A and B are shown apart, each in its own frame.
Chain A
Amino acid sequence: MAQMTMIQAITDAMRNELRNDPNVLVFGEDVGLNGGVFRATEGLQAEFGEERVFDTPLAESGIGGLAIGLGLQGFRPVMEIQFFGFVYEVMDAVAGQMARMRYRSGGRYHSPVTIRSPFGGGVHTPELHADSLEGLVAQQPGLKVVIPSTPYDAKGLLISAIRDNDPVVFLEHMKLYRSFRQEVPEEEYMIPIGKADVKREGTDMSIITYGAMVHESLKAAEELEKEGHSVEVVDLRTIMPFDIETIIASVEKTGRVIVVQEAQRQAGMASQIVAEINERAILSLEAPVLRVTAPDTVFAFSQAESVWLPNYKDVIEAAKKVLTF
């Protein structure tokens, strides 16, 4: 076991897969010699050569199209979009093409592509770097969407993503890259896509969340514990397809729920989760299900992001409403 940051765990997963399968290719802007702008691919070109780990010209739509084509040739592309705000540039390749490859070829072809991309607020980036755009990809049938919140989960989930025969969007929250270390096994292991993880057990209320908001929710749960409330925190880890079974089990146990996402309120994942809860467990509910989200503006210009981003205080506020309903 080694103590790893999330970014180290991600590098470790790619190294493992590059060793494991000669068809795995890693490419994107600045991922080669430079090791990526966050050093996620640090050392990989040196170890595996430029044939397998390489820089692309600067064009996201090109990167996506290349991945689809290489997939048709039996390769297993791990492509990087330098920041997920640039996904708009490659939206046709992602949503219009690779998500539908299996479907439109009647199962003859598929796109075993992993799209890795940093996102998330709190690190004062310029426009279109930090946006939480997971809802955009979660809305596309054919894609799977994974958002880890810990180094351990990141490694196991990325290995699963790379081995998956369907396209997986793997989103890495920038604020979590180096914010803490965790014991991560050096050997390979897989965490199944589509399985949530109860990060904290509780009996009075459930918080359903993912990504950086897992940590804000855990902090809120600790504060609430001091006031005598036992709060469960469910980390979805995969937001599409998400783990309805674990969510419903938690809801049935606690009867009170909030859903927390960093993204804006409108048409987001939280709404989808609330709808599922209403359809499947409304009779277990003691209170309406509330959402904690960012407001409905474009991601804040960085000077205002600390107020714009949801934090543990917002979670506590919503939790109290639900607990005292």
Chain B
Amino acid sequence: MASKTKKTTKADALQQLEKIEDQFQTLQILNEEGEIVNEAAMPDLTNEQLQELMTRMVYTRILDQRSISLNRQGRLGFYAPTAGQEASQLASQFALEKEDFILPGYRDVPQLIWHGLPLAQAFLFSRGHFKGNQMPEGVNVISPQIIIGAQYIQAAGVALGMKKRGAKSVAITYTGDGGASQGDFYEGINFAGAYKAPAIFIVQNNRFAISTPVEKQSAAKTIAQKAVAAGIPGIQVDGMDPLAVYAAVSEARERAVNGEGPTLIETLTYRYGPHTMAGDDPTRYRSSDLDNEWEKKDPLVRFRKFLEKKDLWNEEKENEVIEKAKEDIKEAIKIADETAKQKVTDLMSIMYEEMPPHLQEQYEIYKEKESK
């Protein structure tokens, strides 16, 4: 008898896992052909909003291309390419309100820009100038996190703070499929769940953490299902579909501001470019077949098709956006070039509220050094 009971228990555990995993289906609203395949989930967006979202995606694609070439010319520093991830990044930010707070990873500069970060500062960040991290008053973001996962647990804190203050806003944070392996990821979703804090946790699953494929990160079939262990809602969405991303984030936001706690959202996406511009070679770990397969899912292509059918988009509009982006970039680079060079004494002055005596002494030495 005992052995029979034991056997059933074992089988149950396996069944439970399979049951849970089967429940995590990918939400898609707009397919690769630009057709609505899930009318019921269609978010409530005006024509102007649809056009604005497309504008942002086109603009950001140009910004990515220009950033890559500026980096190659030595006019930008650290840069993590974003092409392929526009729907995931921009449609999620599009569902936010100005008072919502973004805690980004290093690849999430576009969300910051659309949340109010001036482009020139994004360039200064890339160049390794502290002014690039100095977010303007009223822009509710913190500079991109370099330590993978750290932003996740901080988001739980920002969200809990909002809750304590009775604010009707959310904290939203981003990491990648690799980031979902960090302890901070689990702690972040667990804390936010325990406090029912208004947080939105996005995992942009672009299939690779530098060279490491997502299959090697975890035995779990989806990242979304990790929400189950934290006792919070989790959903996997087609991250190349701006409407699905928007719908999932809007719903999560609504739940959060209604006091129903956090949500984990996994967006299935792809980065077309290298990991960063610092010597990564994707041909070492990705096949061109896989690249092609994902480029067919391109978010701009499908959204363009969708909008063109509704007569909301055309080549002329697209070209206008492209020209505007190029002009803005030129202007922003100029501002970045004209920004006073960063000094070691500047860095000393931002170490503490009040400079301690030993640093004061060093300050005088470097002031002298840097005046030469």
Which residue numbers of A lie inside 8 Å of B, CB to CB? 29-30, 32-35, 37, 55, 57-59, 61-62, 85-86, 88-89, 124-129, 265-266, 295-298, 300-305, 307-308
B59 to chain A, nearest CB (A): 25
Residues of A within 8 A of B209 (CB): 29-30, 58
* Closest 6 pairs between A and B when the two form their complex, measured CB to CB: A302-B128, A34-B211, A58-B178, A57-B181, A303-B128, A58-B181
Contacts of A302 in B (CB 8 A): 77-78, 127-128
**Nearest opposing residue in chain B for A293, CB measure:** B362
Contact B211 A303 (CB under 8 A): no
Contact B217 A58 (CB under 8 A): yes
> Which residues does chain B contribute within 8 Å of A301, judged by CB atoms?
128-130, 133, 342, 347
The A interface is mostly helix, strand or loop, or mixed, namely: loop
Of A34, A88, A125, A304, which contacts B210 at CB under 8 A? A34
Residues of chain A lying within 8 A (CB to CB) of residue B284: 33-35
B77 touches A308 (CB 8 A): no
Q: List 5 A-B contacts (CB under 8 A).
A: A29-B209, A295-B365, A297-B351, A303-B77, A304-B347
> For chain B residues 240-283, which have a beta carbon within 8 Å of chain A?
278-280
User: Which residues of the partner chain B approach A128 to less than 8 Å between Cβ atoms?
Assistant: 146-147
Q: Are B128 and A126 in contact (CB under 8 A)?
A: yes
Q: How far is the CA of A300 from the CA of B78 in the complex (A)?
A: 14
Judge if B341 is at the interface, Cβ distance under 8 Å: yes
Question: Which residues of A have CB within 8 Å of B359?
Answer: 295-297
In the complex, the answer to whether B285 meets A33 with C-beta atoms within 8 Å is: yes
The CA-CA distance from A37 to B281 in the complex, in Å, is 10
Known: A34-B210, A34-B285, A295-B359; 17 extra A-B contacts, CB below 8 A, are: A30-B211, A32-B211, A33-B285, A55-B216, A57-B217, A58-B179, A58-B217, A124-B78, A125-B78, A126-B78, A295-B362, A295-B365, A296-B359, A301-B129, A303-B129, A304-B343, A307-B370
| Shortest distance from the beta carbon of B174 to any chain A beta carbon, whole Å | 15
B358 at the interface (CB under 8 A from A): yes
Residue of A nearest to B358 (CB): A296
Tell whether, in the assembled complex, residue B210 and residue A297 are in contact, meaning their CB atoms are under 8 Å apart.
Answer: no
Closest to B276 in A: A126
- Tell me, in angstroms, the Cα distance from A127 to B77 when the chains sit together: 12
Bound-complex Cα distance A135 to B281 (A)? 34
The answer to whether B342 and A303 touch across the interface, beta carbons within 8 angstroms, is yes
Residues of B within 8 A of A (CB): 77-78, 106, 127-130, 133, 146-149, 178-179, 181-183, 209-212, 216-218, 278-280, 284-285, 341-344, 346-348, 351, 358-359, 362, 365-366, 369-370
Cα A303 to Cα B344 in complex, Å, equals 10
Residue in chain A with minimal CB distance to B183: A61
Tell me the smallest distance from the CB of B149 to a CB of chain A, in Å. Answer: 8
Task: Kindly provide the distance from the CB of A72 to the nearest chain B CB, expressed in whole angstroms.
Answer: 21
Contact A124 to B77, CB < 8 A, known contacts A33-B211, A33-B284, A307-B369: yes
Contacts of B342 in A (CB 8 A): 301, 303-304
Residues of A within 8 A of B183 (CB): 59, 61-62
Residues on the B chain within 8 Å of A59, using CB: 149, 181-183
- State whether A29 touches B212 (Cβ < 8 A): yes
Q: Which residue of A lies closest to B282 (CB)?
A: A34
Partner of A307 from B178, B343, B358 at Cβ < 8 Å: B343
In-complex Cβ contact of B218 among A30, A34, A57 (8 A): A57
Docked complex Cα distance between A95 and B227 (Å): 32
Nearest-neighbor residue (CB-CB) of A55 within chain B? B212
**Which A residues touch B148, using CB under 8 A?**
58
Establish whether residues A297 and B181, one from each chain, have CB atoms under 8 Å apart when the complex forms. no
User: How far does the Cβ of A134 sit from chain B's closest Cβ, in whole Å?
Assistant: 19
Residues of B within 8 A of A37 (CB): 210, 279-280
Residue of B nearest to A60 (CB): B182
Question: Which residues of the partner chain B approach A129 to less than 8 Å between Cβ atoms?
Answer: 146
B181–A295 touching, CB < 8 Å = no
B77 CB, nearest partner CB in chain A, Å: 6
A295 x B211 contact (CB < 8 A): no
* Chain A residue, CB-CB nearest to B185: A59
Cβ B146 vs Cβ A58 within 8 A: no
Q: Which residue of A lies closest to B366 (CB)?
A: A295
User: Shortest CB–CB separation between residue A312 and chain B, in angstroms?
Assistant: 15
CB nearest neighbor in A for B186:
A59
Given that A34-B211, A307-B366 are contacting pairs, would A297 and B348 also be in contact in the complex, using a CB cutoff of 8 Å?
Answer: yes
Find chain B residues with CB under 8 A from A300 CB. Answer: 344, 347
Cα distance A129–B146 when bound, in Å? 9
Interchain CB contact under 8 A, B285 and A62: no
- Of chain A, the residue at the smallest CB distance from B180 is A58
Complex Cα distance, B179 from A167, in Å, reads 27
Complex Cα spacing A305 to B292, Å: 40
Closest CB-CB distance, A22 to chain B, in whole Å?
A: 23
Asked if A57 and B216 make an inter-chain contact with CB atoms under 8 angstroms apart, the answer reads: yes
Q: CB distance B147 to A89 under 8 Å?
A: yes
- The distance in angstroms between the C-alpha atoms of A297 and B217, with both chains bound, is 36
The smallest C-beta distance from B30 to any residue of chain A, in angstroms, reads: 31
Q: In the complex, A126→B275 CA distance in Å?
A: 14
Chain A residue with minimal CB distance to B210?
A: A30
Whole-angstrom distance between the alpha carbons of A109 and B78 in the complex?
43
